[in-house]
Amino acid sequence: MNYLPIFLDLRDRHCLVVGGSETAARKAELLLRAGARVDVAAPALHEAWERLPGTDRVSRVADSFSVSLLDGKDAVIVVEDDMALATLISDAARARHLPINVADKPALCSYILPSIIDRSPIMVAVSSGGEAPVLARMLRARLETMIPAAYGRLGALASRFKERVRGTVKPAQRRAFWEKVFLSPVAEMVFSGREAEAEKQLEAMIANAATHDISRGEVYLVGAGPGNPDLLTFRALRLMQQADVIVHDRLVSQPILDMCRRDAERIYVGKERDDHAVPQEEINMLLVRLAKAGKRTLRLKGGDPFIFGRGGEEIETLVEHGVSFQVVPGITAAAGVASYAGIPLTHRDYAQSVAFVTGHLKDNTFNMNWDGIARHDQTIVIYMGLKGLPLLCEALVKHGLDSTTPAAIIQQGTLPTQRVVTGTLSTLPGLAATAGLKAPTLIIVGNVVKLREKLGWYQPEQHQEQAQRSPLEAPDHLR
């Protein structure tokens, strides 16, 4: 190691900043956030200094540096272009064994300021020792996705109960106890804003410290979005990496499954038209059984669980059996696929409303409110309509839309394998058949489709690497 990572306690300690620029203000802000008092030596201060938190702890003590300003200081930061002056300050600080950082001059530093993920009281620092700061910032960005802001609240909860745990749990068992707490529903209660519940659960665990019985299971109903891993929410990613069991659908893409906890059990319950791998009622009861066995169960669904995902049916069963659960929304196919196809679902010149419908055939017919759907000022988004596409287009024309109404069908939207076919209600079925499209697809009907040629931005051939690895993909040791 070129540097020893340490955390300095600067609360109510005195620090010196040499320089009054905006960059110097940003450095001073870090000291202020750590509770320090800051003396500044600079001929003038940039207006950014006025916006700093804790300006009552900032004092401009001199127009320029003098060695006497180092007296009584605990740390020094220098933002100075003049190499000779920066070297003089560095030498003087080192002679007094004071930690000194000189911006953009690593050779003059005895410490460096890392990229910080602040989840107080949890702090994570990333540094390249000044050799590759851009890479350090990229690593920090990746860690930001894996460490939600609520970890600070979880750390604060642990701090409040630390003494009680010390008085109840034997020293040899404390580490195992806290590991179980942080992997238990207590953590998820904090993350979802149920802190009062979390405190009660933690109190029960402390009272039952002899056995640490925290085997209460829970179901996470999570929307995996339209397929592209980059469109997952941070919350979905966190739950994916901590679940004991993954119950997933056919529409959940492999790159997303690869981001789940590696040692979790995987159960496939996917359904296709006329081929239901597991009946819905059995899926509902499977979730109940797994949760009651103490498993943290991730029900991973393509798109959003509450938009044609039968999520409501599943949680109804969970409620009936007293199983704890939470729901994490996902980007539904209509929003995600339309965006990647360059087709806005609404536009003040073309469509003032959107209708989401399913294209499932029953006895070769559709049971739909055609009068409410077939409107000229409305965009119609049809899920699962590939098989019935000719009948759908025919019915829309029959119920009032012009046969020249623009329409599009998108295969595997948002993925590097995305294909888009556009036409009209009269031509789209033939064009889709010629293209040999296969499910999953999404159909969009309405004048907004005219905008695709102008607004289409996603070029799948330029995103092939995305099929191999997502920027959000977790390292192996975090799975």
Annotated catalytic residues are 249, 271
Secondary structure letter of residue 105 according to DSSP:
-
Assess whether the previous peptide bond of 106 is cis (omega < 30° from 0). no
- Six-digit token pair at 439? 């499910």
- Residue 107 CA to residue 87 CA, distance in Å, equals 9
Rg of the chain on CA atoms, in Å: 29
Beta strands across the sheet bearing 218-223? 265-268, 245-248, 296-301, 218-223, 325-328
- Residue 431 CA to residue 308 CA, distance in Å, equals 27
Strand pairing partners for 16? 39, 76
Query: Quick one: which of 265, 220, 224, 226 has its CA closest to 246?
Result: 265
- Six-digit token pair at 310? 């039968």
Centre a 10 Å sphere on the Cβ of residue 470 and count the other Cβ atoms it contains: 19
- Residue 377 CA to residue 451 CA, distance in Å, equals 15
Centre a 10 Å sphere on the Cβ of residue 437 and count the other Cβ atoms it contains: 19
Listing DSSP states for 247-302 in one string gives EE-TTS-HHHHTTS-TTSEEEE--EETTEESS-HHHHHHHHHHHHHTT-EEEEEES
**Left if phi > 0, otherwise alpha if psi is -120 to 50, otherwise beta: which for 247?**
beta
- Six-digit token pair at 21? 């620029």
- Residue 260 CA to residue 386 CA, distance in Å, equals 30
Q: What is the largest CA-CA distance in the chain?
A: 91
* Residue 200: C-alpha distances to residues 153, 164, 185, 476 (Å): 15, 14, 11, 34
Q: How many CA atoms lie within 13 A of 163 on its CB side?
A: 1
